[in-house]
Structure 1
Amino acid sequence: MPTLPNRRSVLSAIAAISLTVGPAAARDDAPVVAAASDLQFAVEEIAAAFETETGMRVRLSMGSTGNFARQIREGAPFQIFMAADEQFIADLHADGLTRDKGDLYAIGRVAIMVPHGSTLTPDAELDNLAEMLAAGQITRFTIANPDHAPYGMRAREALITRGLWEDLQPFMVLGENVSQAAQFALSGNAEGGIIAYSLALAPQVAPQGTFELIPEDWHEPLRQRMALLNNAGPVAEAFYAYMMEPSALEIMARYGFVVPEGQ
C-alpha cells in the first residue's frame, strides 16, 4: 500500500504514540495502560483528571488493539489493556493473561471524514464516495489496517455493505491504527477516509475537516472492553476503577462513545 506524506498542518497529536521500554521507562514505576488509538484524546483527558483527583499517575501507550494483544502475549509490561474489540480481551483471558473477563467500557462508531478542500463530500450513505469512485475521481482513501485494527475491520465491513470495498482497493491506503488513518485522511493527499467518531469529534482534529457518521448496522458493533493484566498493581487498579466513575464516563460520552449501562 502507498504511504501518504504528512502535511505540516495536520496536527502531530493524532500520530500514534509508541511505548519505549528503556532506562528512562524503567525508572518510572507508573503503570502503563495499553489503549486503542481511538481513545487517544479521551483517555489522555481522563488520565489527567485521574492524576489531578488522586495524585496517582499512569502512562499511556496508544496503538492498534491487535498489535497490543500480540505484545501482551510476548510479555509487554502493560498493566491495563483497553481494547477496541472485546474479542481480543476474551482471547487473552482464555489464555490466562488477564485477571478476569474485564468490563465493557464503551461502544464506538465509525465516520467518514474528509479534509477541507477535498472534492469528496462526506455523507452517511457514502453516496458521493460511490459516485466519485465510478467517475474515476478517487485517488487515495484511507482506513486503519483491518488485519489487526478493529476500526479498520469495521470500516471494511461498512464498505462491503455499501458494495465499495473491491472497487476501492487500488486506491486504499492503510494506517497502522485508526489514529494514523485519521492523519492520512486529513493530510490533503487523500480524498478522505473512515476513522473513529471519537477522533472526528476531538477538538484537535475536528477543525481539520468535516465528517458524517456511518450507519451502525453496516458493521459489527465496536464493543470496547478493558481488563487488568495479571501484573496489575494498586495504581492500575485505581485507574481501572476510575474509568467507570461518572467523571470519566462524562468524558467518554463527550467524545461520542456510547457508555454501556450493563455488561
Structure 2
Amino acid sequence: MRISMTKLLVGLLLSALAQIAHAEKITVAAAADLKFAMDEIVTTFKSSNAGDEVEVIYGSSGKFNTQMQQGAPFDLFFSADIAFPRELAKNGLAASEVKPYAVGRIVLWSASMDASKMTLGSLTDSKITHIAIANPQHAPYGKRAEEALRSSSLWEKIESKLVYGENIANTAQFVQTGNAQVGIIALSLAVNPELSSKGGYYLIPDMLHAPLEQGFIICKRAENSALAKRFANYIGSKPARAVMTKYGFVLPGEAVRK
C-alpha cells in the first residue's frame, strides 16, 4: 500500500513538473480600451491552459506601435486602430495576418454629472471648464473624439477646456478624480461597473467620426510560440466574443449600434 501511494505521489509530482516544463509565457500589448474585457478573457483562457502565463500591458496604440518598430519585446499586439498592426505587418514585424477583432465606440461620461442627458453640444456650457480626451497625436480614441468635435463644429469652441490623457484609461481617470468634469472615453470603459455606477453615458453618433476598427497581430518574435497561437485563436472563440459584446464592442460583421 505504501509503495502504491509512493508511486502515485511520484507520478503526480512528475506530471506537475512536466506541466511546468512545458508552460509558456507571452506578453501582450493591448489598447487601454480593452482593460476590463481583456482581463476577463485572459482569466477564462488561463482556466483551460493551466501553467501558461499571459501578461497584458495596457497603453496607447500609437505608442506601442512606435515601441515595436524599435524592437519592444511583445508577443501579440491588440490595437484600437487597425492601421497600426497593418503598418507593422507591412514592415515585416508580424508573424500572422492582421485580424480585426472589434469596432469601438466613444461616449460622453462623467463621474459628477448625468451624462445620459447630455450631448456634445452640452460641452459648451460655461459650468463645464475641463473636458478630458485622449491625446489625438497617438491615441485612436482621442483622434476620433477630435473628429466628432470638429464634425459638430465644436472643436474651436471648447478646445481651451481640453485636458489630454496618455491613453483612454488615463482619460477616464481624469474624470474619475475630478480633474475634468466630463470626458470622451471608450464605451468599453463606461459600461464597466466601476464607472457605470457613477452615472450614465451618452453614445456619440458614429457618423461623426471614422470607424474605430480594431485589429491584432502575433508579433514576429512569437513566430514559434504555441501559446501565442492558442491565445490568438481563443480571441475568436464564443466565450471571448461574448466578453467583447458585454463591454460594448461591435464584433466583425455585426451591425453598429446607433
Amino acid at match of 1:41: F
Structure 1 unaligned residues grouped into runs of 5+ = 1-27
CA deviation after TM superposition for structure 1 residue 100, in Å: 3.6
| Aligned residue pairs, count | 229
Aligned-pair Cα RMSD in Å: 1.7
| Residue 42 of structure 2 is aligned to residue 52 of structure 1 | no
Q: Deviations over 1:36-65 (max 9, x none)?
A: 000000000000000012223210000000
CA contact (8 A) 2:245 2:251 kept: yes
> Any idea what SS the aligned residue of 1:163 has?
coil
| Residue 116 of structure 2 is aligned to residue 126 of structure 1 | no
Give 1 or 2 for the bigger CA radius of gyration.
2
Equivalent residue, structure 1, for 2:166? 176
| Residue 89 of structure 2 is aligned to residue 93 of structure 1 | yes
Equivalent residue, structure 2, for 1:112? 108
> Any idea what SS the aligned residue of 1:115 has?
coil
Equivalent residue, structure 2, for 1:31? 26
Amino acid at match of 2:53: R
Q: TM-score, normalised by structure 2?
A: 0.84
Give the helix-richer structure, 1 or 2: 2
| Residue 60 of structure 2 is aligned to residue 70 of structure 1 | no
Moved over 3 A (4+): 120-125
Gap change, CA 1:127 and 1:168, over 3 Å in 2: closer
Structure 2 unaligned residues grouped into runs of 5+ = 1-22
> Any idea what SS the aligned residue of 1:205 has?
helix
CA deviation after TM superposition for structure 1 residue 101, in Å: 3.2
1-structure distance, mates of 2:134, 2:99: 25
CA deviation after TM superposition for structure 1 residue 29, in Å: 5.6
Amino acid at match of 1:159: L
* 1:178-217 mapped onto 2 (5 Å cutoff): 178-217=168-207
Amino acid at match of 1:129: L
> Any idea what SS the aligned residue of 1:54 has?
coil
CA contact (8 A) 2:115 2:199 kept: no
CA deviation after TM superposition for structure 1 residue 74, in Å: 1.2
CA deviation after TM superposition for structure 1 residue 124, in Å: 6.3
2-structure distance, mates of 1:121, 1:166: 22
